[in-house]
Amino acid sequence: MVNETRKRTTRQLAAVYAALQGDHSHPGADEIHRRVRKTLPHISLGTVYCNLQRLVEEGKIRLFLLGERVARYDSMLEEHDHFICFRCGRIEDVLLERSRVNLAPLEDEGFTVTAHSLAIHGPCQRCGYKRQRRRSKGGGCGQVALELRRW
């Protein structure tokens, strides 16, 4: 028999959750801690981590691992992918047609796919634009015009 204890909602938990609502910047725990300290100045980083873990376990937010050890948090629960700028580290939500991904070969090999996520890497609009401006100032041949589009 599993002992299911109902965890109460604390003001720390509510503040951590509120710090992520409507934010698509995928902040890390340090940034969330900075935000929460505006309303709860004595909250520790450890408490923020514990509450983030609880929100992930309850399915209210998603954990997004960037690299091997960098955890970022995502308030968007719908299936989506990410564009990650390799220059500034900015992360953007990307909505791609999910039906085009063929997972059958994995399943044929015995893998069980419960979810998938695609990470697309490159310079974001801001960093790509900076690069284009630097190139165009220099003049000369071999210039490539970049078309910047918002996802």
Structural domain 7-77, CATH architecture: Orthogonal Bundle (1.10)
- Give pLDDT, residue 61: 94
What is the gyration radius of the CA atoms in the chain, in angstroms?
Answer: 20
pLDDT tens for 64-82 read 887 777 889 999 888 888 8
Query: pTM for the whole thing?
Result: 0.70
- Give pLDDT, residue 46: 96
pLDDT tens for 91-101 read 888 888 777 77
**What residue ranges of the chain have pLDDT lower than 70?**
1-6, 129-151
Report domain extents, the chain: 7-77
